[in-house]
Amino acid sequence: MTLALAVYKGFEWRKVGPYVLAQLAGAFVAALIVRAAYAELIASVDPDHTIATQGIFSTLPGNGNDIVGQPTAFLDQLIGTAILVFVVFALTTAWNNPPLANLGPLFVGLLVVAIGMAWGANAGYAINPARDLGPRLASLITGYGGALEDQNGNLYFWLPIVAPLLGGLIGGGLFKLLIENHLDDPEADEEQPIVSEPRPNQT
């Protein structure tokens, strides 16, 4: 979202780095808290900290099943993130008659849940690099030596970073092309000077 907002919505580029770091740090710390709270239970179920419980902290193709490969997972994240950004733009663009401001976060939350329910089987619906990378790094430093790989031992951590970034740009671009370019700017209409029509000459 941060990258798409900077590219399409005028979000200041100087704020992109701090926002990315803040999101990553938040996800990382949250994952550490979960790791500490469930340490004993995880150790009892999976003492070697293998792929069997890696899914607690990061996404995998097919959620750990071999039936889904990385190309499908990449496409999944591309489309899922495009949907997310497209709909968030639709919900937050003032010209598009969006919901009331206090309902916006609720609808965005429901959107994320809906994407997870409808689009989560192929790759666990990271749809945001920080949501995957932060917990993945937290698990890596707390015993999950294979955290950067998928269930087949292939390097995987890059996919939930690159695919969502590209998907967000695609979704934002499609919104601009298909929706926003066809909306009227109400503020521009208000700024137009009112020109009174000349009265016809009375005879």
Which pLDDT score, from 0 to 100, does residue 198 have? 46
Which pLDDT score, from 0 to 100, does residue 17 have? 97
Which pLDDT score, from 0 to 100, does residue 187 have? 59
Is the Cβ–Cβ distance between 126 and 132 less than 8 Å? yes
E strands in the chain: none
Residue scoring higher pLDDT (189 or 160): 160
pLDDT in tens, 123-164: 999 999 999 999 999 999 999 999 999 999 999 999 999 999
CATH C-level class of 2-181: mainly alpha
Q: Give the span between the Cα atoms of 1 and 151, in whole angstroms.
A: 28
Q: Give the span between the Cα atoms of 120 and 59, in whole angstroms.
A: 10
Domain boundaries, the chain: 2-181
Which pLDDT score, from 0 to 100, does residue 104 have? 81
For the ranges 84-98, 153-167, 187-201, the lowest mean pLDDT is seen at: 187-201
Q: Give the span between the Cα atoms of 182 and 93, in whole angstroms.
A: 12
Whether 189 shows a pLDDT value over 90: the answer reads: no
Which pLDDT score, from 0 to 100, does residue 194 have? 46
Whether 92 shows a pLDDT value over 90: the answer reads: no
Whether 65 shows a pLDDT value over 70: the answer reads: yes
Radius of gyration of the chain measured on its C-alpha atoms: 23
